Amino acid sequence: AVPTGVSLNVERTGPNVLVQTGLLSIRTGSQAMAHVPALMIQTLINHANRSDINGNLLGVLVDTPTGVTGLTTQIPTDSIRTMANRPGTGFEISSDIAGVRFDNKALQAITDQSASDIVTMSVEEVPLSTLTDELKEKVSGNKVYQLTVKSGNKVISDFKGGFATVTIPYTLKEGENPHAVVVWYLNYKGDTESVRGSYVADLKAVVFTVNHFSYFLIKHDPVKFTDIPDNAWYKNAVDFIAARTI
């Protein structure tokens, strides 16, 4: 049975059957903070187990205050372990700030590396003033996001063969080519590496998939070609590949 006051939503998209519920957050400075209780995760699992649903994706939709630039979500480690032990099950946190979907292998990796009874997942826009001069030059005023998973004081950055799919709202500026919007991983040396992702017009967001968390830069990075007509059937593909230096 669904506990009193808990509302559940079921969405079927392709191979995924999402069982989702809502959650309020509170403002802490410029960030939003949400706590997912164990009962909420168990309720999602119980509903997903119904024979008429067979859900393979559990989700929490977090309502965030206006004006915040990041979201931190805390989840009991045992709840993540329960989801990881359910074959094929993924977990996603959605909000107006960002969305993060962990596949089953990533959940297992987080559980295996946990060092406390709470796991903290964060998405935060990084103030450009905190970057080094070298990074500021590479970033060129574009937005940088820090994605973090922590268990106690332990940072869990490697998903051990698992993946997280991240969705971050992005508004195209006038004249920007959506095929040239690129996500770059900022590595520990300050170098940039292209990651698998793109701008998705229907979502008005950038969606990218990674096997670890770190700092990520979203940037319009077009490459101009004088020998390719604007109406060429292959122009979008060329723009996409060139922007990512593939």
Tell me what pLDDT residue 224 has: 54
The bridge status of strand 205-210 relative to strand 164-169 is antiparallel
* Mean pLDDT taken over the chain: 88
Tell me what pLDDT residue 3 has: 52
Q: Which pTM value belongs to this model?
A: 0.86
With H, G, I as helix, E, B as strand and everything else as coil, classify residue 137: helix
Tell me what pLDDT residue 60 has: 97
pLDDT band, residue 245 (cuts 50/70/90): low
DSSP code string of 22-59: EEE-EEETTEEEEE--HHHHHHHHHHHTSTTT---EEE
Tell me what pLDDT residue 107 has: 98
What is the rounded CA–CA span in Å between residue 186 and residue 217?
Answer: 7
pLDDT tens-digit readout, 86-107: 999 999 999 999 999 999 999 9
pLDDT over 70 (residue 45): yes
197 with 209: CB under 8 angstroms?
A: yes
Give the C-alpha distances (Å, rounded to integers) separating 241 from 120, 123, 181, 245: 35, 27, 11, 6
Give the C-alpha distances (Å, rounded to integers) separating 138 from 41, 74, 184, 186, 218: 41, 32, 11, 10, 11
pLDDT over 50 (residue 23): yes
For the chain, what percentages of helix, strand and coil (3-state, to nearest 5) are there? Answer: 20, 40, 40
pLDDT over 70 (residue 173): yes
Tell me what pLDDT residue 140 has: 79
> Which comes out higher in pLDDT, residue 228 or 183?
183
Worst-scoring range by mean pLDDT, 22-26, 202-206, 223-227? Answer: 223-227
pLDDT tens-digit readout, 216-243: 999 887 555 445 456 544 445 544 444 4
pLDDT tens-digit readout, 62-88: 999 999 999 999 999 999 999 999 999
At a CB cut-off of 8 Å and minimum separation 6, what does 29 contact? Answer: none
